[in-house]
Amino acid sequence: MQSPGNGAAAALQSRRLMKPPIRPVPNPARVQWRRRMAMLLWRALAVVSLILAAAGMALPVLPTVPFVLLAAWAAGKGWPRLEQWMLAHPLFGAHIRRWRERGVVPRRAKWLATIMMSISATGLQFMPLPLWLRLGVPAVMLAVAIWLWQRPED
């Protein structure tokens, strides 16, 4: 007499003996289309990040440096020419290279970021926002400031 579990065990054993299914060869046109779309998405991320970084120069609540670093990273994935331009740029090229090599944040940038986050957190307290937002956003800013000050300097 067979136990009820033997049928399941036999099915499992037969699956182990079967060869894995052969994957079909992808259509070359589809592969090329997917690569082109990925490149366009990386480029779009780089452009949007640069736009946000430019807006961050004028708006104290919007950070500039993270968006510049994100733009350089995205450009490296889908727009090498833009990445090279950013790395050779006289204003932020050296900062991007130092960040990539050692995760360096200059002391002046740390002070500026901390001061701007403090001003933004203070200004947020005077806006008619929900309490969770008036407490949560400064808490995130504090966490970012702590992390930032733990980064190496030049």
What's the mean per-residue pLDDT of the chain? Answer: 87
Read off the pLDDT band of 38 (50, 70, 90): very high
The per-residue pLDDT for 16 is 61
- What tens digit of pLDDT does each residue of 76-117 get? 999 999 999 999 999 889 989 999 999 998 898 899 889 988
Give how far Cα 97 sits from Cα of 39, 140, 147, 153, Å.
Answer: 23, 27, 20, 13
The per-residue pLDDT for 29 is 87
User: Do 100 and 86 touch, CB atoms closer than 8 A?
Assistant: no
Residue 13: phi, psi to the nearest 5?
A: -65, -40
The per-residue pLDDT for 33 is 92
pTM reported for the whole predicted model: 0.69
User: Do 76 and 83 touch, CB atoms closer than 8 A?
Assistant: yes
Other Cβ atoms less than 10 A from the Cβ of 72: the count is 25
